[in-house]
Structure 1
Amino acid sequence: MNLIPPPEPDPATMEAVHASVQQVHAGIAAMRAEIAGSVMGQSSVVDQVLCCVLADGHALLEGVPGTGKTLLVRTIAAATGLDMGRVQFTPDLMPADITGTTVMAESASGRRASIFRPGPIFHGLLLADEINRASPRTQSALLEAMEERRVTVAGRTHPLPEPFIVLATQNPIEQEGTHRLPEAQIDRFMMKIIVPPPQAQTLERIIGSTTGTAVYEPQRCISPEFLCAATRLSRRILLAPHVNDWIAALVIGTGDTAIGGDVPDLLIAPCSPRAAIAVRRTSQVAALTAGRLAVSCADVRAVLPSCLRHRMSVSPAAKGRNLTPDDLVDMLLEAVPSPAEEVMN
């Protein structure tokens, strides 16, 4: 199944917008089904990654080795038709191994000139595998690329393809040989998605699937053009003023005790404006993939933990109470209720 991109709807006709939304909804459903053939028991993780990809954002996948993080990224690349590059991050990796380098080469006429040889970052989908095993200097090589979709090598700027999406994997920071990502880089990830170990029933299915000779090969369901059109359409999903104000209050509440209650005192620093942008964009995509034309408060609740957890640096006081970033998100939601909850109260 390879769907064509939905047409750009006429802003004056909601019927055209609704038709495009339903076409994207069908395409995403087909992609979910295709990915489920390779990645078992991780439907919530798959939905979050697809949400981030459709929002034209970068995602950080965290989980112990063997939970299918790399397999998931490869399967998404196959299902979307995106050209995938891969960088295996190691302690001896250099920035030029990612971005590329300028070399001297001799032309047919015998003249020597500098030629840029692009690195693996010049792909539509970049798998940054075990990103926290490289040094902070090497990790920072992605900063310009993730924010501005370009890289600068030897004083020359080179644009990256469109779309350009980084899906990075990392092991828990407590594991030996890992480095914490720089704050400037981690804030550029739209979402941080926790990949849990498989449940018993899922593990039995995985074991059974490895005993046969047949290997499931995911097929392309949509095109990169379809993906770009879906991203543009997601920006047209309506966000009511009261929902927009609630998103702003949630993010401001991470730094203002008058709004967030005890949460600011349990954080080293408040979340940046990128957090509010991430919540807005991913909630629009969540509504789109559900086939709806407007964002609900439930959409915001669904994406909030993945958009905030990596932007929340817990204070020593929070660590002393064994509080995690996800616990603080729950506290934030209690301190800043949704507009519907305020009406009920």
Structure 2
Amino acid sequence: ADDTDIFFGTNSNLDVYPNVLLIVDTSGSMNWQTNPPSNNNRIGHVKEALRILINDLNNVNVGLMRFSNPGGPVLYPVSPIDGDVVGGGNVAVVASVADSSDDAMEAVTSSATVFQNDSQRLYLPKTQQFGVSTDVISVNNDNGDSRERISDGHNWTGSTELDFLHDNDYMIGLRFGNTNVPPNAQILDARVELFGRDNPSNNSDPVFVQIVGERDETGGNYENINRHLFNRIDEPSERTVAVVNWTLTDEVEHRMPMQSADVSSIVQQIVDNPAWNAPSGEEDDVSLMLAPQSGAPDTGRRFFYSRNGNPNFAPRLVVDYLNPGVPNSEVDSQVGVRFQNVRVP
């Protein structure tokens, strides 16, 4: 019997065309950047390859399905490659903002129109706060995060991962240096952002975390000294009055971010310290301690990258604030968003 090319559809004399179902991995790892680094991630390269492939196909029936954990739907049924769109045109086309100049917001007050295209957040129209600054501060050296075993005080500075919070027996120290938050700023929102790390001990049980801050940033980097983290906040005068509880319920996705509960009350107390001189002085660091909530269940466990594990996925603190003298007012605003290369047939 003759061999028949059933994939590329080069045989136009067939009465029945071959059916090809393309299955695309859409799990979290497809968001990873390719190696060597490029301006595209894995799923971006797959999409571009599929466009090239489909444009070259003839005399076949093609469909598209996504694959993830635990599974995925058929996005487009197997249909003739040159036929009409199935479903009367009800096909989703997803396009993202590709450039920093493609989104902006504009606030309209009684006296002026203010345009802003460099904000890290877009505030939706109608009475939203405008003029908010955002500071994203990463742990910037290998001694800027640490984990400590509570039962015996053993400390790991420079570990490749942060363990939350093995049998409720670990506490984590995170030091965010060189902030740009000025003295007397009003903190509107602040959240720790951690990046998931693959580890077979990750599970889906909740992890109950209590967050407190160092009142004064005088301790410097963390050190491999027994009970180093505990001793930095042992006295009430050394820690913030503000305390925030955070319950981790989401499962970890490798290299994907997870944000904490709002810790603005803690950051506000640190910034209100009379010695705070950021961004020009030395007292410009925010240090947070994350420990188990007292009496909470201890079965949950999550692993995240430390800076030593991968500087690109180091813990970071995202702070929204109003500069001193900026009124805490709400104004009408409008948002503009531009999507390039929207591939609608």
Q: TM-score range, shorter-chain basis?
A: under 0.3
* TM-score, normalising length: structure 1: 0.20
> Who wins on radius of gyration, i.e. which is larger?
2
* TM-score, normalising length: structure 2: 0.20
Bigger share in strand: 2
Which has the higher relative contact order, 1 or 2, with Cα contacts under 8 A spaced 6 or more apart? 2
